[in-house]
Structure 1
């Protein structure tokens, strides 16, 4: 098993030098697990921020040969749980079909004061044949 920590240049860069955005765990069968750090984004509404977050997640996954369809687990943090329906509508557009396992939690605040939503995911990338 090999672990690589990465900040792909093709995706938005982290907001702080204190973390890596992607941990790639390469498995012996050629498949991999991708662990993405929590992603936040700018925007005036939860809908705007959620859309930007999923676009960043898509870019991070693409840098490692994965897509949003490879997500197997998602964790969401909202500063206002009453906005769950707004976040959910965006999430459904980006993740149609059978949803991954998930957890959603209301928190008092996030890393940046203006952030209303933070999303972290785990993706399983099949071996390339």
Structure 2
């Protein structure tokens, strides 16, 4: 088993380099990817589209897609999605984006957990999404 913590150049660095975007565990002919929670930020770290849950959801999945791609994975490799939302009334908007993202994979949607939280670490962020994925390396 080999473990790597990584911040791919394909996405903006985490805030203050305080964490890794992905923990990768290589085992046998594949790898397990555990992605840190992602919020909708631009390349400077500013909140993307404050107040627009649809735009924030699209941006979050764009960032996640970049992290996955840097490790040879895609949304079809995602096993589990965990979502933290500041307002579950926004679930329909988020759900529509999420369905579009995973419908393109041609695979069943991944396991999922969604919870409402009082706030996220970045004021203005409406949601934070983390995923676990498995990718074959041989």
What's the TM-score once normalised by structure 1's chain length? 0.95
1:5 is aligned to 2:2: no
What's the TM-score once normalised by structure 2's chain length? 0.89
What runs of 5+ residues in structure 2 fail to find an aligned partner? 41-47
Runs of at least 4 residues off by over 2 Å: none
Q: CA RMSD in A?
A: 0.9
Q: How does 1:1-129 map to 2 (within 5 A)?
A: 1-27=1-27, 29-41=28-40, 42-44=48-50, 45-96=52-103, 97-128=107-138
Contact 1:74-1:101 at 8 Å conserved across structures: yes
CA–CA distance in structure 2, aligned partners of residues 90 and 13 of structure 1: 24
CA–CA distance in structure 2, aligned partners of residues 16 and 70 of structure 1: 29
